[in-house]
């Protein structure tokens, strides 16, 4: 089975009040799970990475017995996608531990991940969930 996971993170202020969202679909594009998390004060890129790490944590905790043979991670952050693909170095000190956590989880998964950059309009639900988290956290 192939999974399709959309993640997004955002910050109002950069740094500012931040949130992330993730949406997980099965190989038939049927919704399996969706999550929204308020993150406190973070930069936009930190929020993007934390959203990715929530998705990777989900995979790590839920893959057993699901016959997953491939997972696709879709994000509208070209920077994060390129860093995860190994095309860009992670130079920012605040992102290095988040990147390291992501790589560590990926190294433990028994199936390959493919990172795909998509435009924001193809990531609407994850974006809405990230904004919902920021809205709730701001109150």
pLDDT at 57 over 90: yes
Domains of the chain and CATH, by start:
2-137 (3.30.420.10)
Render pLDDT for 66-118 as a digit per residue (tens, 0 to 9).
789 999 999 999 999 999 999 999 999 999 999 999 999 999 999 999 999 99
Tell me what pLDDT residue 139 has: 58
Give Cα 21 distance to the centre of its chain.
7
Distance (Å, whole) CA 138 – CA 83: 30
Supply the pLDDT for residue 138: 62
Calculated CA dihedral for residues 103, 109, 114, 115, nearest 10 degrees: -30
The pLDDT of 126-131, averaged and rounded, is 98
Q: Which helix (H) or strand (E) holds 42?
A: strand 31-42
Please give the residue that has the higher pLDDT: either 114 or 62.
114
Residues 98, 86: Cα–Cα separation, whole Å: 15
Average pLDDT over residues 55-61: 96
pLDDT digits (tens, 9 = 90+) for 7-28: 999 999 999 999 999 999 999 9
Cβ atoms of 16 and 38 within 8 Å: the answer is no
Bond prior to 2 in cis (omega within 30° of 0):
no
Contact 75, 118 (CB under 8 A): yes
Mean pLDDT score across all residues of the chain: 95
């Amino acid at each position: 089975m192939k999974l399709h996971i959309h993640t997004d993170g955002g910050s109002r202020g950069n740094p500012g009040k931040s949130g992330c969202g993730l949406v997980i679909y099965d190989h038939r594009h049927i919704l399996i799970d969706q999550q929204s998390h308020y993150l406190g004060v973070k930069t936009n890129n930190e929020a993007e990475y934390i959203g990715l790490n929530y998705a990777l944590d989900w995979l790590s905790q839920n893959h057993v017995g699901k016959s997953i043979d491939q997972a696709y991670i879709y994000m509208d952050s070209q920077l994060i996608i390129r860093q995860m693909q190994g095309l860009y170095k992670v130079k920012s000190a605040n992102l290095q531990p988040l990147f390291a956590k992501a790589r560590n989880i990926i190294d433990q998964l028994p199936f390959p991940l493919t990172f795909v950059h998509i435009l924001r309009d193809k990531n609407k639900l994850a974006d809405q969930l990230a904004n919902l988290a920021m809205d709730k956290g701001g109150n």
